[in-house]
Amino acid sequence: MSSTLEADAESVLRLVTPSLDLKRHKGQAGKIAVIGGCREYTGAPSFAAISALKIGADLSHVFCTKDAAPVIKSYSPELIVHPVLEESYTISDFSEEEKRQVQEKVVGEVDKWIERFDCLVIGPGLGRDPFLLECVSKIMLLAKKFNVPFVVDGDGLFLVTNSIDLVNSYPLAVLTPNVNEYKRLVQKVLNCEVDEENTGDQLRSLAKQIGGVTILRKGKSDLISNGEIVKSVSIYGSPRRCGGQGDILSGSVAVFLSWAQQLISGHESLSENPAILGCVAASGLLRKAASLAFTKHKRSTLTSDIIGCLGESLEDICPAS
């Protein structure tokens, strides 16, 4: 029997969102880094990174390829953009030794910064280049070494599905699969097809099988599990399915997870799981912002319209003053 409980997303948003305080300095409300952005995709990492700022994080970085960097920078001067990732075509003439040196350099560029980040978002617009993904797997190992939480989305899930050990048993990993990404994860890890009759139980088994990582399965209702409990978020939402909404979600999970971690580390009596709180809060806010954007823009609602509604939606639940 399924025991999926609808989460009270608004209460979670009120719990984890920090109050604005003149005593706090830059960085205390969150430093997020997105690993993503290549020749093909520049929108996805930008949506994730700018959403983090719009919700209230102080700093948002993007680590992307050299081609993607000027484009992402020109979308927004708010983002700190590091053109450090390399795709195979830029090193096609290199020897194995030279390729190894490039990989070391890429990982070294992230290593310089990684301890400063409260959470990474790995995958929006990353692409599927094998050399690039190999570097990103090393970045995941680095994050685990320094206990930095990470959200895996988009092409990061393509990487993880083929190398599940990268996240196995890391409690600070959150996977945010869409319908296709979830199907591939279920097939690979549980060796079966998606069971639409027992969605909660299957999600719980999947999260348990990956050693208790948190999974947010996106869909008509968002379902969240860490292998123990299963929560759903079904409030609000919009009928528009324009691309990029998952990117908003991944950047939002990173911020709320960081805030939940901060909250819990200051209150030993709180026994809640920060990854679950982060997912519930992010899902609730995105769905509210999507609903609001839809009332304003109807069929022409775009991802940028939803990003424009994040602030108003959060303000409605957690007023700034």
Ligand X SMILES: NC(=O)C1=CN([C@@H]2O[C@H](COP(=O)(O)OP(=O)(O)OC[C@H]3O[C@@H](n4cnc5c(N)ncnc54)[C@H](O)[C@@H]3O)[C@@H](O)[C@H]2O)[C@@H](O)CC1
Query: Which residues are annotated as part of the binding site?
Result: 125, 178-184, 218-222, 237-247
Nearer to Mg ion, 72 or 318 (CB): 72
- Of 85, 114, 126, 233, which lies in the binding site for ligand X, with binding defined by CB under 6 A? 126
b/e map 137-176, b = 16+ CB within 10 Å:
bbbbebbbeeebbbbbbbbbbbbbbeeeebbeebbbbbbb
Stretch that binds ligand X, among 58-66, 67-75, 239-247, 291-299 (CB under 6 A): 239-247
Query: Of 147, 148, 155, 153, which Cα lies nearest the Cα of 32?
Result: 148
**178 binds ligand ATP, rule: CB under 6 A:** yes
* Distance in angstroms (rounded) separating the CA atoms of residues 287 and 321: 23
- For helices 179-189 and 199-209, the axis angle rounded to 10 degrees is 60
Q: Which residues contact 300 (CB under 8 A, 6 or more apart)?
A: none
- Minimum distance from residue 154 beta carbon to Mg ion (Å): 5
- What the block records as the tokens of 173 is 């990993």
Query: Of 314, 264, 258, which Cα lies nearest the Cα of 284?
Result: 314
**220 binds ligand ATP, rule: CB under 6 A:** yes
**129 binds ligand X, rule: CB under 6 A:** no
- Of 125, 149, 227, 274, which lies in the binding site for ligand X, with binding defined by CB under 6 A? 125
* Distance in angstroms (rounded) separating the CA atoms of residues 290 and 303: 8
Binding site residue list for ATP: 218-222, 237-246
Near ligand ATP in 30-89, by CB under 6 A: none
Near Mg ion in 87-126, by CB under 5 A: none
Q: Which residue has the tokens 């699969």?
A: 177
Nearer to ligand ATP, 39 or 144 (CB): 39
Stretch that binds ligand ATP, among 85-93, 186-194, 283-291, 310-318 (CB under 6 A): 283-291
**In this structure, are residues 253 and 282 in contact, taking their beta carbons and an 8 Å threshold?**
yes
- Minimum distance from residue 64 beta carbon to ligand X (Å): 11
Nearer to ligand ATP, 86 or 247 (CB): 247
Binding site residue list for (6S)-NADPHX: 125, 178-184, 247
- Of 169, 180, 187, 295, which lies in the binding site for ligand X, with binding defined by CB under 6 A? 180
**154 binds Mg ion, rule: CB under 5 A:** yes
* Distance in angstroms (rounded) separating the CA atoms of residues 142 and 106: 12
Q: Which residues pair with 31 in a beta bridge?
A: 59
**249 binds ligand ATP, rule: CB under 6 A:** yes
Site residues, Mg ion (CB under 5 A): 154, 178, 246
